[in-house]
Structure 1
């Protein structure tokens, strides 16, 4: 049994289309015709027969199966191999060739394709684009695509509606040949010539199927709910191989011109996103993390004026205005001794955080200036378009910590690229690479190591020459932006920091500062109640303490001990940056970056979809055609994902290329060049790739949203 309809009813909104209709289309080698006025429900019936509409009542028996119980996968296989449909407007893949339309409709050999082309007299159009064919040629191709599967049932919707007499006769002749091969043909038609040609004719009239020509089927009993007796159901074969990648690649290749124009705004959006994300990341999380780049894994620092969040919160709540914890202004010798006794400590060094001494161990100062006209050509090339320097000045900066610990605590985050740091209280200096370019006219930084250099220095308002030896060279990253001022680092020279504090004026300053209100005065009494107490609170005069652990593994335990001993202070270390208070701040920056970037990526993804709306709608129509050829929804999903993946991969690579060119020829010449230093760092590209994948997913979901039964039905009927 091919098709048996019993008591079939269909209602569309308030309109009754079919009402207890009965019909039998059971015999191979016969042509059945369905006639009726426009709007009578012929197309609706075909949608039911083809499995596009399952919202009906009654019984529809197909190839021995209850059609209502067939799964979507089974329907896909039936449409692929057992029942093909030729639509009135052909539903061909217009952008592809005649060969592609046949090749992609199933798993067929070139020989099978050549045979059906010859039969339909289309061999000479094998490589022609379908959009360029005439109506008759398209009709023949649509029939060829249907019959190459050798289906048991062939449905045709107005096959002669758009043809001239010659093509009508050719089509009818070929249909007759198909009938003789055992294919049952069912035609919707208005054409009396086709109705005359048919073996059996049903007329859809008054919501009933009335037999007007041919043998009358056996009368159905009045009880529509009777058990339908049929032959053994036809075994549904496995699904055939689908050419998913071949279809995707072929379609992209044939639509490349249109895709090119669609790609322009998308690439602009992605390029802008890449640059803005990179700049935002550099100015937030990277700058935060780099500011702690000079702290080694073994180093821990404390600062008597750097209170932790808990203490700040308490001070705000109690109205206290102070940067001290009420116990000390500087660390005492006892504090340093106690810290050295902690388990796992290798060394303890006092220092003054953020303090910069602009002189060497001889109290010499320096101001070495080069005017723009004197710039070496190696420097002139890095003058920025929007920030041309009039001069570059070099001056002394004393190292804040002794040489023995500077590799553990490099407070200035110096990037040493050649040589070593200066020895303490020596005439060794660490110079910037820019000075090497300017004074020695070379980019080979090692050439200047251990060379003697004479500088005009000042002391007590007198200028004199002093000889120094170049111990090392540090990186300034001048290629991403010149600065107007660079330090020349001189060796550390310990000084009596207490003398800065221990005078009456300084004492009075702190006394006034810490008694501005009652709450502040109360917490500061032990610091400034008397000069003796103030002197004790000053301690060594050093507000910073650098603790270097013997091993990296000692840092967590040391951190806990220090938190117990100094509960009000913020503890700074790489361990804290990962897991402590600093880590919490860093994580907030990370989440702000992620949240902002995801939001922008989502907006950009939706914007891209709107820009591509017409293209996506066109693709949805093509995917509906694939659906009618037996492609399952999962196959269509794969096509959508594969196509969007290839497109977005290309968009991303092209956007990266554009950003590279912009960075080389424009951004690198601006004062903001440092924001794009990490543009092509692996972690930056990785993060950007994930965000672009998010845009891709939006596009895929947008495409998938069109692959719904009602949408596919709509596209196939219009």
Structure 2
């Protein structure tokens, strides 16, 4: 391989270090020593030959081609396969073993690594230290490791920077004997030094003095230009397999695990706090808000004669009107049902009265409760036991709608896991924990006798058939969900009971009572004139006596156009649907809740990134030195970026795993023992985990950009000088 300077000049400011040098470096199978005083420019000359200093005047030719014409990828190939350097301070990977240093210096993946490494290990006397970390071996041993690394890929040129600077006479002679053996393989060895002890071993001697190279000794050059030309023709990019990068990352993370733990703990704790706050806030606000809509089928629109749009309610308040009607109707009528049914894509219209009875169909009120202390031993193993109330109250609750319509609107979001909804007077739907309680206490699980109070206030036991079982999260929480006055209870659901007493609603008594109530002030009296103007108009406004209307679309895709049509028919009524959550008037509130959540996420992501950058500031400087070494071995800049990105990714995966362990421990042993535990029941839901992972991905992306920006090519090169 022919390296050649043509009138090459190097300056540092106004100081000329190399002046108009014209010199060929093609001494094949020879040792060439370049001597000179300290500061003469010897290291600068070597850096130019190695391609890490390209700011000079004149020409530097490699196999007849201008060095500046080589691309970064071609220089990576040259440094990995053709030109190698042994630095004065060795530039070894200190935290890796000797064997690993050699493994990661391998750039010839087509040729057998072991066949090339084994002879070098034996030749340079490294057998006994091959599994020792570089930081634990002597300077002389490091010198030999650096030489073995440089020779592994069979380069044509070996550059050595002051190789004997820290060696005594014996070690110097030993090193030079190694080099004499090595040069016989056809390699060109160039040594810069001010140590004249190596001169007897040198075939050629050049002295760098006053910016000029002066030949003091030279033997004949056996190399042939044609070989150099063929070498140039074989130039190709230096490619690093993913397996090699992955192996390096694995070992590097393992070698630096203590430092990684120290920098990860603060991030882990911050992420843990964020996860808990996210879960609590999301469940108390966003999830609670959206739960109302989750009870509706995807193809259903719900309107109610007593629920107005925000804008319309505001107008009524401004006018001083105190009314829960739209001024035309109290409840929906047969005509209203017919008008909605005629809207395109409407499959069904269901009217209902909102509300639940706490009586069974025979007007009995449940008088049952379970004492916490009487629960079977199996219940005491559940995490819910510690926070369960001392008395677990049970209550009757009538089904909101008939079984065939519950699929359209299920406000309690009852999920039947066995059996069916109750259809007969003596049938009940029970929670799964109560069904399990009956089983564990030796009671029947199909028939149960319950204490009730009848309509005459008489207490008795009545037998009920369990028609089905609905799911609760009783293993994690035994917090009742039904509010009865000031207490909370678990519902035993009875069959659907139509609460409408149409005869009573249409009676003159109701008319007189409503007339008195609705004429509280002049503004209200004028507003409801069409309703209470006459008894006949009042009866008409009562309609079918049901305030709630479910409008079922053929498909969920039909909901938007049905919503528009319903808005034209009933412009003042609030519409509830899955579609309205993101497109109707609820969308504003929903967006505000989501935006506040997003703002919190952004703050946490920024905080995690800032802390990561702060804690890794020193380590990235150290990493730059290691990555500079890889760069000098022919690894491409994109390989270095991959290493940084993947190491940051792996660190954050560990942070995520650690944070999940911390939150699990806090929830299991602290929060679940308090009344606030229920706010964290959704901690491990998919939606929460996706948000957390999203925060981490944002943090990883920003941290990676920062990490990559810290290892630009110039900084990598500077770390080698």
Structure 2 partner of 1:608: 612
Structure 2 partner of 1:164: 168
Cα distance between partner residues in 2 of 1:467 and 1:31: 106
Structure 2 partner of 1:224: none
Is the Cα contact below 8 Å between 1:640 and 1:703 reproduced in 2? yes
Q: What's the CA shift for 1:308?
A: 3.6
Cα distance between partner residues in 2 of 1:204 and 1:531: 120
CA gap of 1:637–1:329, structure 2 versus 1, over 3 A, is: same
Structure 2 partner of 1:702: 706
> Over aligned residues, Cα RMSD in angstroms?
3.9
Cα distance between partner residues in 2 of 1:646 and 1:113: 31
Structure 1 partner of 2:445: 448
Uncovered stretches (5+) of structure 2, i.e. residues with no partner: 221-226, 480-487
Q: What's the CA shift for 1:630?
A: 0.7
Is the Cα contact below 8 Å between 2:9 and 2:20 reproduced in 1? yes
Cα distance between partner residues in 2 of 1:509 and 1:413: 36
Q: What's the CA shift for 1:216?
A: 13
Q: What's the CA shift for 1:541?
A: 4.0
| Local SS of the residue matching 1:200 | strand
Cα distance between partner residues in 2 of 1:61 and 1:554: 73
Q: 1:202 aligns with which of 198, 201, 207?
A: 207
Cα distance between partner residues in 2 of 1:116 and 1:318: 96
Structure 2 partner of 1:544: 548
CA gap of 1:91–1:314, structure 2 versus 1, over 3 A, is: farther
Moved more, 287-296 or 71-80: 287-296
Is the Cα contact below 8 Å between 1:358 and 1:395 reproduced in 2? yes
Q: What's the CA shift for 1:80?
A: 1.0
| Local SS of the residue matching 1:459 | coil
Q: Following superposition of structure 1 onto structure 2, how do residues 208-607 of structure 1 map, counting pairs within 5 Å?
A: 208-211=211-214, 213-214=216-217, 234-239=232-237, 242=240, 243-256=244-257, 258-308=259-309, 311=312, 324-353=325-354, 355-381=355-381, 387-423=387-423, 426-438=425-437, 440-442=438-440, 448-449=445-446, 451-459=447-455, 461-483=457-479, 484-496=488-500, 499=504, 502=510, 504-512=512-520, 526=530, 536-549=540-553, 555=559, 557-577=561-581, 580-582=584-586, 586=590, 589-590=593-594, 592-594=596-598, 596-607=600-611
CA gap of 1:434–1:97, structure 2 versus 1, over 3 A, is: closer
State the Cα deviation string for residues 359-414 of structure 1 (Å, max 9, x = none).
33344333434444444545555575874523222223233333442232223222
Is the Cα contact below 8 Å between 1:201 and 1:213 reproduced in 2? yes
Is the Cα contact below 8 Å between 2:249 and 2:646 reproduced in 1? yes
| Local SS of the residue matching 1:601 | helix
| Local SS of the residue matching 2:393 | strand
Is the Cα contact below 8 Å between 1:480 and 1:673 reproduced in 2? no
Moved more, 402-411 or 665-674: 665-674
CA gap of 1:530–1:190, structure 2 versus 1, over 3 A, is: farther
Is the Cα contact below 8 Å between 2:531 and 2:538 reproduced in 1? yes
State the Cα deviation string for residues 237-287 of structure 1 (Å, max 9, x = none).
334553323323333344445545555445444544544444444444444
Q: What's the CA shift for 1:715?
A: 1.9
Is the Cα contact below 8 Å between 2:323 and 2:518 reproduced in 1? no
Q: What's the CA shift for 1:338?
A: 3.1
State the Cα deviation string for residues 445-500 of structure 1 (Å, max 9, x = none).
9x523x15242214355545544433333233222222342223233332445657
Is the Cα contact below 8 Å between 2:8 and 2:22 reproduced in 1? no
Cα distance between partner residues in 2 of 1:95 and 1:630: 20
Q: What's the CA shift for 1:625?
A: 0.3
Is the Cα contact below 8 Å between 1:429 and 1:490 reproduced in 2? yes
Moved more, 115-124 or 334-343: 334-343
| Local SS of the residue matching 1:694 | helix
Cα distance between partner residues in 1 of 2:299 and 2:247: 57
Moved more, 357-366 or 458-467: 458-467
Cα distance between partner residues in 1 of 2:11 and 2:455: 102
Structure 1 partner of 2:482: none
Cα distance between partner residues in 2 of 1:356 and 1:673: 28
Cα distance between partner residues in 2 of 1:76 and 1:52: 11
| Local SS of the residue matching 2:76 | helix
Q: 1:638 aligns with which of 626, 636, 642?
A: 642
Q: Following superposition of structure 1 onto structure 2, how do residues 121-200 of structure 1 map, counting pairs within 5 Å?
A: 121-194=125-198, 198=202, 199-200=204-205
Q: What's the CA shift for 1:17?
A: 4.6
TM (normalized to structure 2)? 0.83
State the Cα deviation string for residues 10-39 of structure 1 (Å, max 9, x = none).
454x5535464424142312413142334x
CA gap of 1:9–1:599, structure 2 versus 1, over 3 A, is: farther
Structure 1 partner of 2:484: none
Is the Cα contact below 8 Å between 2:649 and 2:700 reproduced in 1? yes
CA gap of 1:661–1:383, structure 2 versus 1, over 3 A, is: closer
Is the Cα contact below 8 Å between 2:398 and 2:493 reproduced in 1? yes
CA gap of 1:372–1:511, structure 2 versus 1, over 3 A, is: farther
| Local SS of the residue matching 2:80 | helix
Does residue 109 of the first structure (1) align with residue 113 of the second (2)? yes
Cα distance between partner residues in 1 of 2:207 and 2:310: 85
Cα distance between partner residues in 2 of 1:367 and 1:231: 100
Cα distance between partner residues in 1 of 2:361 and 2:621: 76
Is the Cα contact below 8 Å between 2:238 and 2:634 reproduced in 1? no
Cα distance between partner residues in 2 of 1:697 and 1:421: 50
| Local SS of the residue matching 2:84 | strand
Q: What's the CA shift for 1:708?
A: 0.9
Cα distance between partner residues in 1 of 2:653 and 2:499: 60
Is the Cα contact below 8 Å between 1:431 and 1:487 reproduced in 2? yes
Q: What's the CA shift for 1:104?
A: 1.5
TM (normalized to structure 1)? 0.84
